[in-house]
Amino acid sequence: MNIVYVLNTLVVLGILISAVCAVAFENILSSVIALGVTGAFMALEFILLQAPDVAIAEAAVGAVLSTAIFVIAVKKTTPKEEEEKK
Protein backbone atom coordinates (compact mmCIF):
# COMPACT_ATOMS: atom_id res chain seq x y z
CA MET A 1 0.00 0.00 0.00
CA ASN A 2 1.35 3.36 -1.03
CA ILE A 3 1.86 6.11 1.59
CA VAL A 4 0.15 8.66 -0.67
CA TYR A 5 -2.92 6.43 -0.81
CA VAL A 6 -3.04 6.24 2.98
CA LEU A 7 -2.62 10.02 3.31
CA ASN A 8 -5.33 10.61 0.70
CA THR A 9 -7.70 8.34 2.59
CA LEU A 10 -7.01 10.06 5.90
CA VAL A 11 -7.49 13.53 4.43
CA VAL A 12 -10.75 12.55 2.72
CA LEU A 13 -11.99 11.11 6.02
CA GLY A 14 -11.03 14.39 7.71
CA ILE A 15 -12.98 16.32 5.07
CA LEU A 16 -16.05 14.15 5.55
CA ILE A 17 -15.96 14.25 9.35
CA SER A 18 -15.44 18.01 9.55
CA ALA A 19 -18.17 18.65 6.96
CA VAL A 20 -20.64 16.48 8.88
CA CYS A 21 -19.67 18.28 12.09
CA ALA A 22 -20.23 21.65 10.41
CA VAL A 23 -23.79 20.60 9.60
CA ALA A 24 -24.53 18.77 12.86
CA PHE A 25 -23.32 21.32 15.42
CA GLU A 26 -26.01 23.34 17.19
CA ASN A 27 -23.74 26.29 17.90
CA ILE A 28 -23.17 28.48 14.85
CA LEU A 29 -19.65 29.45 15.86
CA SER A 30 -18.67 25.78 16.16
CA SER A 31 -20.11 25.14 12.71
CA VAL A 32 -18.07 27.99 11.26
CA ILE A 33 -14.88 26.64 12.82
CA ALA A 34 -15.65 23.15 11.49
CA LEU A 35 -16.16 24.69 8.05
CA GLY A 36 -12.72 26.30 8.33
CA VAL A 37 -11.22 22.93 9.23
CA THR A 38 -12.91 21.48 6.14
CA GLY A 39 -11.22 24.15 4.04
CA ALA A 40 -7.86 23.33 5.59
CA PHE A 41 -8.32 19.64 4.79
CA MET A 42 -9.29 20.58 1.23
CA ALA A 43 -6.07 22.59 0.87
CA LEU A 44 -4.10 19.60 2.13
CA GLU A 45 -5.86 17.35 -0.38
CA PHE A 46 -4.96 19.70 -3.21
CA ILE A 47 -1.32 19.55 -2.10
CA LEU A 48 -1.47 15.75 -2.18
CA LEU A 49 -2.97 15.95 -5.68
CA GLN A 50 0.02 18.09 -6.74
CA ALA A 51 -1.96 21.29 -7.33
CA PRO A 52 -0.11 23.80 -5.12
CA ASP A 53 -1.64 26.87 -6.77
CA VAL A 54 -5.16 25.66 -6.00
CA ALA A 55 -4.05 24.65 -2.50
CA ILE A 56 -2.76 28.15 -1.76
CA ALA A 57 -6.01 29.70 -3.00
CA GLU A 58 -8.11 27.26 -0.96
CA ALA A 59 -6.04 27.83 2.17
CA ALA A 60 -6.25 31.60 1.82
CA VAL A 61 -9.90 31.88 0.88
CA GLY A 62 -11.58 28.69 2.09
CA ALA A 63 -9.82 28.17 5.37
CA VAL A 64 -8.84 31.67 6.50
CA LEU A 65 -10.75 34.49 4.84
CA SER A 66 -14.26 33.03 4.74
CA THR A 67 -13.90 31.66 8.30
CA ALA A 68 -12.84 35.07 9.56
CA ILE A 69 -15.73 36.78 7.77
CA PHE A 70 -18.22 34.26 9.16
CA VAL A 71 -16.87 34.64 12.72
CA ILE A 72 -17.09 38.43 12.50
CA ALA A 73 -20.63 38.21 11.11
CA VAL A 74 -21.73 35.81 13.87
CA LYS A 75 -20.22 38.01 16.58
CA LYS A 76 -21.86 41.15 15.21
CA THR A 77 -25.30 39.57 14.83
CA THR A 78 -25.40 37.69 18.14
CA PRO A 79 -27.44 39.55 20.80
CA LYS A 80 -25.49 40.65 23.88
CA GLU A 81 -27.75 38.69 26.27
CA GLU A 82 -26.97 35.47 24.46
CA GLU A 83 -23.21 36.09 24.72
CA GLU A 84 -23.44 36.66 28.48
CA LYS A 85 -25.25 33.33 29.02
CA LYS A 86 -22.39 31.37 27.42
The answer to whether position 19 is within a domain reads: yes
Model pLDDT, residue 34: 95
Structural domain count of the chain: 1
The tens digit of pLDDT for each residue in 37-86 reads: 999 999 999 999 999 999 999 999 988 999 999 999 999 998 876 556 65
Q: Is residue 85 part of a domain?
A: no
φ, ψ (nearest 5 deg) of residue 73: -65, -40
Domain around 32: 3-79
Whether 67 and 18 have beta carbons less than 8 Å apart is answered as no
Q: For residue 82, what pLDDT is reported?
A: 59
**Within a domain: residue 86?**
no
Predicted pLDDT of residue 78: 84
User: Helix 3-24 crosses helix 28-48 at what angle (to 10 degrees)?
Assistant: 160
Specify the pLDDT at position 85.
63
- Helix then strand count (H, E) for the chain reads 5, 0
Residue 69 lies in a domain: yes
72 domain-assigned: yes
